[in-house]
Chains A and B, each alone.
Chain A
């Protein structure tokens, strides 16, 4: 067996340690705070630009991977900027006296809305008590009683005269369900019809004549009653108005003095005064004449109509622009709503039930939204766009959008909108949104793209240490010693999947820091050391390790077949990564290939059964290209081959197994056994170059764990693309095993390098004669292909046709 020592990586290449000599501190307590997130200068510059430019559509879309600290840092930056900005105007809704169902929006200077509301409440309260007293005064009661008495006097006089006349004439007046009646009477009772009919005709005529006369009188009285009552009500209204306005004018004058600098308030007070003059009956406990009735009464709400609905109450000390975050961005939470209250089975509303949305609260400042949540809420995105495009907030009912049965509600006057919206989302979400909705780019012209990682150099490592110091202080954690910092730096590289990068997922790092603090305190330590950090990492792995261990168990019990020793033709250990939420681990998979004579078709079984994704299929197709370009160039490709991930019952995607698939295909073709104590990962191009893949660390560790459990032999290892060496940040036990010569990681650039490692035979280069050297793997493969081609010619001569299934015809 011939190994290629140059391909075997030294232990130093497997893990990039953090040099502690660069840290001059004893603990991070000595380090100063970092003012903002490290490595996000581009994003912060975009946010700065986006918040300063005051143009339509220059809202911000902050994109990046979750956990980068986008929400916290955006909020912090906006609050800082907001402090330097003026507080916005305040908006209130008042009753619209002309169109009651369209509440009127008034704009007031900052700090005046609550005063206006309180003053109006005070005025109405004062008026209620003052007017109640006025209307209970003896003078008023006497004048009112005089009016009432005049009316009743009219009625009583008319009725009394009629009654006397009727009694004298022997005519009864009757009240019937249909009105009144006059009938002949005798002995204090109505003469029954049969008795009346028995009377002499002249008596009957006499009664009829009297009744006719009385009927005229009764008609006249009954017809006069509504007129008298109308006159009475008019006089009462005039009296009420006269009495009330003396008090009302005084109260309004006081309000006018207080808000003399606000013309819009003065105009409203004028309307209030006019309305009060027309509706003073309210102060009399409802008035016997009733209100306007029906729908208008629902909107009027009596005294409430004079109150003020402050949309966004602002405290006196709140002298900066608002920064509002909305956790649940439903349409109604964004643009506001008109609430209703049940009253005797009906849903009633008025302008006081108009509730502000986040856009109202953020108006004149900043609104921070989570893009995924906005897009996940029915109608929320459309409502937000409409408001931003129209530059005003119109409160609408969701029912209006569906065109179904609409309840009677209010249509509050829209409020002008001047807000900077900051949406925070993932990159794919932003790009998808831009692709499907052109408005997204129009309305969110500024993109702030958060970096996922930064270069790992001394300066960045120093900043990273300062960031850790800040996090410790902000979260009240123990500080770290240099060893602890170094271990977290190394882990940050592992999380970045790159030995030359540091992840910027501050959320993940903060979690690790908190957990390391916990374990350090458990140990009674006063600082977080590398040991505590390692414990935190190990515990994290352990907590999510159930599935990994279960899968390893299946392999170790040979339920899932994975060979880790010996050699096999047409079989290889590929490597894949399982990612389920927080769970992530590498796992070996057995890949096999079978070949026979055919028409040059390579069958990817995963694809045939629709378990293979498009990238995997692409990788397999590349293999065809490789075979066609490498072997039997003058012969037709007469190969039929099948490739499969054995015991794989889920989807397979990605092209990281394409190199392994090619190795096993060539093994089967050349009938050369492959080493089973090696696992392979890497993609391949049509020229046979092995290319980088993701998850190299997890994949190596996945195979290592199986080998270690079965007992390390010293020959086991993993072949990876050379371009992945820079990503290696392997676990300590893997590195230690490599140092001890118990395990190895090989880096290759070409398929031929891999073939030599896996077969122990030279791959073989074409000589001057154009042929591969005798005994080389490539020679074997080419000879087999030529054999297939020859066989195919033979069959073609005597057969009417053939196909990939190997069916042959007979002459």
Chain B
């Protein structure tokens, strides 16, 4: 009988065209490699963003705040195409670096529905926190977040500013059927990274976690949804943001069980 966590087959990494995702993609590729998963990279060409170039009511600004009055549809198409190529190159580089299998697809339409139609129960979906509140609340990131929130599979929450010099894997033991999966996934990660595994029991509040690891924060925390008071996606995302450590949140009921 296979280990419970082996029922996960893909790590889904979705991001909007033009998002700065190099570090996120590199870390996602490493985690997929450690867990022996296929990396399914998805680049979303949001329909609303695509239409902005010819939208009579839209105003466009550069990242530094300069008004782009000359921005047109063709320019947007060119930028989108360049960003897609750059993402693809980066993906190929990271996949070669950590030696994993991968797929790449460009999804067009509204981000929320495009992702929702693609993600399966056996997927681990990556949510990379945008670097600023502005980007977090902007479309299509807003839609991406909705898609992650409704994802039927496990989710890897990656904070925008993870702590440097992290080492080791922390598994937070919970109650219920997901406990075996948490332990198995954490063990697999520890083995692959050759870093220590710490099993934490009886952690009721995630805010107390830093006391557990002192000066050496873990590379990753594995937990089941509902443990340490983390049930909703907003709460989990805030925990990852505050702890500045990625959280791999597995479902209470192992997928496919």
Residue of A nearest to B146 (CB): A188
In angstroms, Cα B135 to Cα A162, docked, is: 12
Given contacts A193-B56, A208-B57, A285-B165, contact A176 B18 (CB under 8 A): yes
| Smallest CB separation, B109 vs chain A (Å) | 12
Residues in B whose Cβ lies below 8 Å from that of A174: 46, 48-49, 52, 138-140
Contacts of B16 in A (CB 8 A): 175
The docked-state distance in angstroms from the alpha carbon of A155 to that of B134 is: 8
Q: Which of B18, B51, B133, B134 contacts A177 (CB 8 A)?
A: B18
Which of B67-75, B116-124, B177-185 has 4 or more CB atoms under 8 Å from chain A? Answer: B67-75
Give the number of residues in A that approach B within 8 Å (Cβ atoms).
44
Query: Is A163 a contact partner of B137 (Cβ separation < 8 A)?
Result: yes
Say yes or no: A180 contacts B61, CB within 8 Å.
Answer: yes
Given contacts A177-B18, A193-B55, A285-B165, contact A172 B48 (CB under 8 A): yes
On whether the beta carbons of B57 and A204 are closer than 8 Å, the reply is yes
The A168-223 residues at the B interface (CB cut-off 8 A) are 172-184, 189-193, 196-197, 204, 207-208, 211-212, 215, 218-223
Q: Within residues 96 to 128 of chain B, which ones have a CB less than 8 A from any CB in chain A?
A: 110
Does B19 make an interface contact (CB < 8 A)?
yes
Q: In the complex, identify which listed stretch (B24-32, B76-84, B190-198) lies at the interface while the others stay far away.
A: B76-84
| CB within 8 Å of A: which B131-173 residues | 132-135, 137-141, 164-165
A162, A177, A219: residue with the most chain B Cβ atoms closer than 10 Å: A177
Q: Could you tell me if A173 and B134 are in contact, using CB atoms closer than 8 angstroms?
A: yes
Asked if A254 lies at the interface with its beta carbon under 8 angstroms from chain B, I say: no
Asked if B110 and A189 sit within 8 Å, CB to CB, the answer is yes
Chain A residue contacts of B56, Cβ below 8 A: 193, 196-197, 204
Contact present for A181 and B141 (CB under 8 Å): no
Distance of B50 from chain A, by nearest CB (Å): 9
Cross-chain contact B76 with A177 (CB below 8 angstroms): yes
A136–B216 Cα distance when bound, in Å, is 9
Q: In the complex the two chains form, what is the Cα distance from A180 to B141 in whole Å? A: 12
| Candidate in B54, B56, B65, B67 with the most chain A CB atoms within 10 angstroms | B65
Report the minimum CB–CB distance from B52 to chain A (whole Å): 5
Interface contact B57-A183, CB-CB below 8 Å = yes
Q: How far is the CA of A405 from the CA of B83 in the complex (A)?
A: 36
Bound-state Cα–Cα, A782 to B58, Å: 128
Contact A180 B134, beta carbon cutoff 8 Å: yes
Tell me if A438 is interfacial: C-beta within 8 Å of chain B: no
- Quick one: given A163-B133, A175-B135, A175-B140, are A180 and B63 in contact (CB under 8 Å)? yes
Once the chains bind, are A178 and B68 in contact (CB under 8 Å)?
yes
Quick check: B48 and A189 within 8 Å, CB to CB?
yes
B139 touches A190 (CB 8 A): yes
The chain B residue with its CB closest to the CB of A212 is B59
CB distance from B87 to the nearest CB of A (A): 11
CB-CB under 8 A from B80, the residues of chain A are 177
Supposing A159-B132, A204-B57, A219-B67 touch, asked if A178 and B48 sit within 8 A by C-beta, the answer is no
Contacting A176 at CB < 8 Å: which of B49, B164, B165, B215?
B49
B63–A182 touching, CB < 8 Å: no
B65–A181 contact, CB under 8 A? no
Contact status of A155 and B165, CB under 8 A, knowing A179-B63, A196-B55: no
From 35 to 50 in chain B, residues with beta carbon under 8 angstroms from any chain A beta carbon are 46, 48-49
Asked if A581 is an interface residue, CB under 8 A from chain B, the answer is: no
C-alpha gap A222/B133 in the complex (Å)? 12
Residues in A neighbouring B201, C-beta threshold 8 A: none
9 A-B pairs with CB atoms under 8 Å apart are A136-B215, A156-B133, A159-B133, A173-B138, A175-B16, A176-B18, A192-B51, A222-B64, A223-B64
The residue that B133 contacts in the complex, of A136, A160, A208, A286, with Cβ under 8 A, is: A160
Given contacts A178-B60, A189-B110, contact A183 B52 (CB under 8 A): yes
Q: Which residues of B contact A178 (CB under 8 A)?
A: 18, 60, 62, 68, 71, 75-76, 79
Bound complex: CA A225 to CA B135 (Å): 13
Residues of A with C-beta under 8 A to B135: 175
Residues on B with C-beta less than 8 A from A404 are none
Determine if A221 and B134 form an interchain contact, defined as CB atoms under 8 angstroms apart. yes
Chain B residues with CB below 8 A from A226, complex form: 64
| Interface-centre pick from A136, A180, A191, A215 (highest chain B CB count, 10 A) | A180
Cα A215 to Cα B66 with chains together (Å): 10
Q: CB within 8 A of B60: which of A176, A212, A223? A: A176
Residue of A nearest to B45 (CB): A177
Distance of B112 from chain A, by nearest CB (Å): 9
B57 engages A196 (CB within 8 Å): yes
Task: Give the complex CA separation of A177 and B154 in angstroms.
Answer: 29
Closest to A162 in B: B134
Contact (Cβ within 8 A) B52 A179: no
CB A488 to nearest CB in B, in angstroms, measures: 71
Docked-complex contact A223 and B65, CB < 8 angstroms: yes
Residue from B54, B57, B62 whose CB has the most chain A CB atoms within 10 Å = B57
B205-257 CB contacts (< 8 Å) to partner A: 215
Contact indicator B19/A175 (Cβ below 8 Å): yes
A-side contacts of B19, CB under 8 Å: 175
Q: Is the Cβ of A181 less than 8 Å from the Cβ of B64?
A: no
**Min CB gap A35→B, angstroms:** 66
Does B17 lie at the interface of the complex (its beta carbon under 8 Å from any beta carbon of A)? Answer: yes
Known pairs A176-B49, A179-B60, A180-B60 / 7 extra A-B pairs, C-beta < 8 Å? A174-B140, A177-B76, A178-B75, A180-B61, A181-B49, A190-B55, A285-B164
Which of B66, B67, B110, B139 is in CB contact (< 8 Å) with A175?
A: B139
Partner of B61, one of A191, A193, A218, A284: A218
- Which A residues lie within 8 Å of B62 (CB)? 178-179, 222
Interfacial chain B residues near A285, Cβ < 8 Å? 164-165
Residues of A223-246 contacting chain B, CB below 8 A: 223, 225-226
Taken together as a complex, chains A and B put the C-alpha atoms of A176 and B140 apart, in Å, by 9
| CB interface residues, A 348-397, toward B, < 8 Å | none
The complex places the Cα of A584 from the Cα of B56 at a distance, in Å, of 104
Closest Cβ of chain A: how far from B191's Cβ, in Å? 25
Per-residue contact bits, chain A 638-663, to B (CB 8 Å; 1 contact, 0 not): 00000000000000000000000000
Residues of B close to A204: CB separation below 8 A: 56-57
Which residues on the B side are within 8 Å of A222 (C-beta)? 61-65
A182 to B56, CA, bound (A): 11
Set of chain B residues within 8 Å of A180, measured between Cβ atoms? 60-61, 63, 134, 138
Instruction: Report how far A72 CA is from B52 CA in the complex, Å.
Output: 88
- A196 / chain B contacts, CB cutoff of 8 Å: 55-57
Q: Which residues of the other chain, A, contact B17 by a CB distance below 8 angstroms? A: 177
- Interface contact B61-A219, CB-CB below 8 Å: yes
Task: Find the B residue at minimum CB distance from A208.
Answer: B57
Q: Which residues on the B side are within 8 Å of A192 (C-beta)? A: 48, 51
A189 to chain B: which residues have CB within 8 Å?
48, 110
CB pair A211–B59 under 8 Å, yes or no, is yes
> Do A179 and B61 contact each other (CB < 8 Å), given the known contacts A163-B133, A221-B134?
yes
Compute how far the CA of A215 lies from the CA of B140 in the bound complex, rounded to whole angstroms. 19
Find out whether the CB atom of A172 lies under 8 angstroms from the CB atom of B139: yes
For the complex, what is the distance from the CA of A252 to the CA of B57, rounded to whole Å?
64
Q: What residue of chain B has the Cβ atom nearest to residue A133's Cβ?
A: B215
A221 touches B18 (CB 8 A): no
| A524-561 CB contacts (< 8 Å) to partner B | none
Q: How far is the CA of A225 from the CA of B48 in the complex (A)?
A: 26
A183's contact among B55, B71, B76, B133, by CB below 8 Å, is which?
A: B55
A225 to B65, CA, bound (A): 10
**Residues of the A chain whose Cβ atoms lie less than 8 Å from the Cβ of B141:** 175
Q: Which residues of A contact B164 (CB under 8 A)?
A: 284-286
Bound-state Cα–Cα, A182 to B71, Å? 13
Whole-angstrom distance between the Cβ of A118 and the nearest chain B Cβ: 28
Distance from A280 Cβ to chain B, minimum over Cβ atoms (Å) = 15
Q: Is the CB of B54 within 8 A of A193?
A: yes
Closest to B78 in A: A177
CB neighbours of A212 from chain B (8 A): 59
- Known contacts A179-B63, A222-B64; decide if A155 and B133 are in contact (CB<8 Å): yes
> How far is B66's CA from A220's CA once the two chains are assembled, in angstroms?
10
A159 to B137, Cβ gap below 8 A?
Answer: yes
Given the complex, which residues of A lie within 8 Å of B46, measured CB to CB?
174
How far is it, in angstroms, between the C-alpha of A211 and the C-alpha of B56 when the chains are bound? 12
